[in-house]
Homo-oligomer: A and B are copies of this chain.
Amino acid sequence: MLSGMKEQKQWDVLVIGAGIIGLSTAYHIKQDNPDLSVLVIDRSNAAAQADTAKSMAAIRDTFTSETNRLLAKSSIEFYQHVQSELHVNLNLELIGYLWLLTEREFKTFESIEAGMRKQGIRLRTVERKDLAGLIPDLVLDPASEQSKIIGMVSIHKGVQGLDCGVVSPELIAKFYEDEFKKSGGELQFSTEAKSLRLEAKNKLDLPGEPYVWQEKVFAGAETNRGFIKADTVVIATGARAPVLLDPLGIDCLVKAKKRQIFQVKGNALDRLMNTKGFNDLNTIPFTILPRGGVYFRPVRGEKSFWVAAADDLGRAFAFDDEPMAEETYFTYNIYPILSEYFPCFANLRPANSWAGFYDINSVDSTPIIDRIDNCILTVGMSGSGIMKADAVGRMAAAILKGKAEAALYGERRISTTRLGLTNRSVGKEEFVI
């Protein structure tokens, strides 16, 4: 090293991404290893500004795959523990999920219902006549000219997931961030990882290293504020992960798909907001309409509804630094369905809208938690990252320590190899109604 050159700080762990996944991971790493120096960087100017903040922020335990249940149930119970026992408000409200199902969809549900109940998932079937009574705003059998053109179907029954609800992911992220800082962790914002640096383990100082025949090691990240050196690098960048990993030839199995949320307000929605019979808060649950993939949730604090639709075939996989919601998306894709089943939305236009990204793992829609040499991946949340973030952080921390199993909240255990890039053992998720 040239004399006078500033010695570069070498962090024990560099976590790239201060979303809920990066913060949970950093928190659990620091909890398990108080002596390690851990730095979290993010390109935003504060934590949890990107996809964490742009989510519907709903949480559920209704999964048939044991892996999904372990990840979600343990995380949700940890958030409940934080809110009720540590007295840190997370706006966690168990308002329930309500699936409005066609006859065919209900049959699918019946085929998996017993198994789910056996696993302790609390479900309630709401009969058609009860739905009509409980939700006067709901049209069970759309019959307008438009609904015929659309080919809308009658609602046969409802299924409520009782231990499901909504939460504020920013507050969960804030909890992790605060605790992480208290234990000596550091954060650096407005710092964008441009690329990862891969080096030869035994450098020869020749051009073009590392070569095919050299053992390689991740040295850290190149950022807009210079190079950050670290012994271990954690990739918690969600849908942006391929931007960092593709150039190194690592396929993290993730593709970015835009999700759009539209905030709708209006006095006409008051009765729906105050729907009774589903939860202690006397509000309508997070509600999923039949087919077409439209769903909404009440946001009591802002007296609004957030409405979205699950894009599938036809919605591009494409990443963009500044995703935008498209007004025509609401008009043509969401509104026709929404206003037929729930005419109280008729003539209401979005007051606000925003877009973020799912980091979709198409193989099995379940997170990828793995290590490649000294690089740890926590990616592929596929739309259920917030409800699984605590477990993901614990698994990543266990992987850093080289443990075969991770201890999840509530005395649960899970093998740390189960969510690896190869030889995954996720189990089939059948609750995809």
Partner of A248 from the list B207, B313, B421, B423 (CB cut-off 8 Å) is: B313
Q: CB within 8 Å of B: which of A202-237?
A: 202, 204, 206-208, 210-213, 216
A281 at the interface (CB under 8 A from B): no
Residue contact B250 to A253, C-beta cutoff 8 Å:
no
The contact of A253 among B150, B202, B248, B363, by CB within 8 Å, is B363
CB distance from A202 to the nearest CB of B (A): 8
Instruction: Report how far A147 CA is from B212 CA in the complex, Å.
Output: 14
Question: Chain B contacts of A314 at CB under 8 A?
Answer: 198, 210, 212, 216, 248-249
Residue of B nearest to A372 (CB): B313
A428 on the interface (CB 8 Å rule)? Answer: yes
> A198 — which chain B residues lie within 8 A by C-beta?
313-314
Q: Which one of A34-42, A45-53, A169-177, A330-338 is at the interface?
A: A330-338
Complex: A317 Cα to B213 Cα, angstroms: 19
Assess whether A145 is interfacial by the CB under 8 Å rule. Answer: no
Q: How many residues of A contact B (CB 8 A)?
A: 53
Copies of this chain: 2
In the complex, A265 has a CB within 8 A of chain B: no
In the bound complex, what is the Cα–Cα distance between A248 and B151 (angstroms)?
Answer: 23
A316 is an interface residue with CB less than 8 A from chain B? yes
A396 proximal to B (CB < 8 A): no
Q: Quote the shortest CB–CB distance from A171 to chain B (angstroms).
A: 31
List the 8 shortest-distance A-B pairs measured between CB atoms, nearest first.
Answer: A213-B292, A251-B362, A212-B333, A249-B315, A246-B317, A247-B316, A212-B309, A211-B333
Residues of chain A having any CB pair with chain B under 8 Å? 149-151, 198, 202, 204, 206-208, 210-213, 216, 246-251, 253, 255, 257, 291-294, 309-318, 328, 332-334, 336-337, 360, 362-364, 372-373, 421-423, 428
- A selection of 19 A-B contacts at a CB cut-off of 8 Å is A150-B213, A198-B314, A207-B332, A208-B332, A211-B332, A213-B291, A213-B337, A216-B314, A248-B313, A248-B316, A249-B257, A249-B313, A249-B314, A249-B315, A251-B362, A313-B373, A362-B421, A363-B363, A363-B422
